[in-house]
Amino acid sequence: MKRIYLIVTLLIGFIVTSCSSEQSLQQYYIANAENPNFMSFDLPSSLLNLEKSDLSESEKVAVSSLKKLNILAFQKKESNNADYEIQKAAIKSILKGADFSELMKMNTSFGKATIKIKGDDDTIDEIVIYGDNDEKGLILVRVLGDDMNPASFVQLIQAMEKSDFNGKGLEQLENFIKG
C-alpha cells in the first residue's frame, strides 16, 4: 500500500510540476503555505534591528531598500520523503527559470545553498536563498525590497553583521528545522 501511495504521489507531483512550469516563486509560496510539511514566515525588515545599528550612509541606503523576508521551510521526515523530493524538484525548476541569475553557491552546516537574484544590472527585485539537506529538509528565503542595488548587497550583509539581531522571533523555525 505504501508503495502505491509513493508512486501516486510522485506521479501527481510530476504532473503538477510539469503543468506548472510557468509557476512563479510567489505562486509556489502561496500554494505551499498551508502544506503541513512546511512552515511559513513573513518577517518585516524591522525584526533584524538594523535601524539601531551604527551604520555608514551606504549601509543605511542598502537597509532602507529592504522591506521583508519570506521564509518557507520543509522539515524532512521518513513519512514525507516523497513529498520532500517533489518539493525540492519543484523549487529547483522554478529557480532555473530565466528570471533568476545565480549569484553564488556554498556549502553550509545546514547543507548546500544557492543565492540567486531576480532583476537587472541596476536593481534587484528579490534575492532568493535556497538550501537543502537530504536529512533535515529544505529552506527557501525571499528577500524583498524596493530598488535594491546589486552593489549594495554587500553593504546589506555588513549592516546585518552590525545589528544586534539574536534570532528572537525565529525560535519556532529553529525548532522546526532541528526536529
Q: At what angle do helices 153-162 and 57-65 cross, to 10 degrees?
A: 100
Which among 1-5, 116-120, 158-162 has the top mean pLDDT? Answer: 116-120
Give the global pTM: 0.72
Spatial distance between the Cα atoms of 161 and 166, rounded to a whole number of angstroms: 11
Which residue, chain included where needed, has cell 525560535?
Answer: 171
User: What are the two backbone dihedrals, phi and then psi, of residue 57, each rounded to the nearest 5 degrees?
Assistant: -60, -40
pLDDT digits (tens, 9 = 90+) for 56-111: 777 777 777 778 888 999 989 999 999 999 999 999 999 998 788 888 898 877 78
Query: Looking at 13-27, 79-93, 112-126, 154-168, which range is the least confident one?
Result: 154-168
C-alpha closest to that of 143 among 45, 6, 75: 45
Per-residue pLDDT, 93: 92
Q: Do 97 and 110 meet the contact criterion of CB atoms below 8 Å apart?
A: no
When the pLDDT of each residue in the chain is averaged and rounded to a whole number, the result is 76
